[in-house]
Amino acid sequence: MIWKGLGVLAGAAGIVMLGVVGLSWVVVNVVPDFGEGFAEADSNPDGSVDFVPSGIGGQLTVSGDREATMELGEGFIEGPGFVLVGAIGKLFFDSGPLSVATVYLEDLAFFPEPEDCELSPGQINEDLGLAAAHLECQELDDIRDNGSISVEGYIALPADMVIERDLPDLGGTVTVGDETWEIAEAYLLLGPEFNFGGEPEPLRLDMWTSDYERGLNFEMNRETESLTLLSVYAGGGESEPAPGSCSISTEFLVQVNPTDSIERLDFDCEAVDVPGAGTVTITGSVAFHKSSVGESDH
């Protein structure tokens, strides 16, 4: 029953991470060159630019008491925020809704009100989970009254920070003999490989009903990304299906942001011993959240 406690904790963490995805990040450079996509941008008659972002970053023109070009890349921040970092400055963003929280330029610091900066969403890179946006901040005053600047240009951020999309619902239905389990959460965390006692830490996909009384635990092979049903929990007990008793397939649904995707797991298992239900068949179709920390999965 150990994995139940771990699964509850991991699942709860998964829900939290999905809710704040793009906010507190362990950085993963999926395609690190923002400039690649921007260089191929098409200019419109009004001077605006259409481009599909190839990486997190930005290019901003600074005018006013300071004149400069800020070229920004992906950065790391602890807590509820996101930062773009460059050689001469940083931009901190808040989410929900997206806004500019702080602008640092050399020795100047600016704390704009939400209405001081306008963010206009642009195109989406569906494959990488990125979205472009046009940013314009007018007449920002340094906190120490050392100057005033305006900022204008383009940025690319995790798509779920910039736009709202109609994402698939997580969870699904599992039929266990004559019972139907409504799966409320399903989460798979892909992290770096750690060895404890000479054995690599397994990757596990845990799925649970809302009361955490019934669930299934799958293990993923790191090399092939194939899944195996490891155990079934029900009625206060745990069982381990025989190897090869399940037919399992996964389908990619959507890239939410560079490190998080939603996929669907379909499985059909024969003659599984389930506590309280006996030897029964198990079938299911469940959409799960897949998150990569410290490595790219796409």
- Using one digit for the tens of pLDDT, what is the confidence trace for 9-50? 444 444 333 333 333 333 343 445 787 778 777 777 777 778
Is pLDDT of 224 > 50?
yes
102-111, 167-176, 178-187, 272-281, range with the lowest pLDDT:
272-281
Average pLDDT, the chain: 83
Of 202 and 210, the one with more pLDDT:
210
14-28, 210-224, 253-267, range with the lowest pLDDT:
14-28
Q: Is the peptide bond before 97 cis (omega within 30 degrees of 0)?
A: yes
pLDDT recorded at residue 186: 95
Tell me what percent of the residues of the chain surpass a pLDDT of 70: 82
- Tell how far CA 69 is from the center of its chain: 30
Class of residue 212 by CB neighbours under 10 A (exposed 0-12, middle 13-18, buried 19+): middle
Q: pLDDT for 81-115, tens place per residue?
A: 789 999 999 999 998 789 999 999 999 999 999 89
Class of residue 228 by CB neighbours under 10 A (exposed 0-12, middle 13-18, buried 19+): middle
1-5, 20-24, 59-63, 275-279, range with the lowest pLDDT:
20-24
The radius of gyration of the chain from alpha carbons, rounded to an integer in Å, stands at 23
pLDDT recorded at residue 31: 42
Mean pLDDT of 153-173: 93
pLDDT recorded at residue 110: 97
pLDDT recorded at residue 128: 92
Q: pLDDT for 122-132, tens place per residue?
A: 999 999 999 99
49-53, 126-130, 230-234, range with the lowest pLDDT:
49-53
**What span, in angstroms and rounded, lies between the C-alpha atoms of 219 and 6?**
14
Is pLDDT of 241 > 80?
yes
**What span, in angstroms and rounded, lies between the C-alpha atoms of 253 and 261?**
7
Of 204 and 35, the one with more pLDDT:
204
Mean pLDDT of 230-243: 90
pLDDT recorded at residue 294: 52
- When pLDDT is cut at 50, 70 and 90, the band that residue 60 belongs to is very high
**What span, in angstroms and rounded, lies between the C-alpha atoms of 138 and 280?**
66
**What span, in angstroms and rounded, lies between the C-alpha atoms of 100 and 120?**
12
Cα 36-24-264 angle, rounded to 5 deg:
80
Of 137, 136, 139, which Cα lies nearest the Cα of 147?
139
